Amino acid sequence: MEQQLFLLISFALLITPVLLTRWRWFWIFSGALGIPMALAWTQHFYAVSRPENTGSPGAALGLAFLLVPTVALALGMFLRYLRWIVEVLISEHKARRSSGQ
């Protein structure tokens, strides 16, 4: 059950930025989730770099629980950027065609 919820949340993080139509909401959503993720990664790398850190058997699992949603959000943001590029190219093509060139 927890794994399915984890995958559902990761899928939502992937698809939500793509579906947002306003850039303002895109940046609010991405910032509200991206900043805490960046802080969690910063804390992780700080903790790992400490000399007294010996690691633990659950460290890889914890890393996966942070890596999968982070990659999903980053990929969703990248796909939204690609969607924006395609929309710009389509609108330029329509403008060229309507101007008779």
Q: For residue 31, is pLDDT > 90?
A: yes
pLDDT of residue 76: 95
pLDDT of residue 25: 92
> How is the chain split into domains, by residue range?
2-98
The DSSP code sequence of 49-97 is HSTT----TTHHHHHHHHHHHHHHHHHHHHHHHHHHHHHHHHHHHHHHH
Mean pLDDT over the full length of the chain: 90
Q: For residue 3, is pLDDT > 70?
A: yes
Q: What is the pLDDT of residues 62-86, one digit of tens each?
A: 888 889 999 999 999 999 999 999 9
Q: What is the pLDDT of residues 4-16, one digit of tens each?
A: 898 899 999 999 9
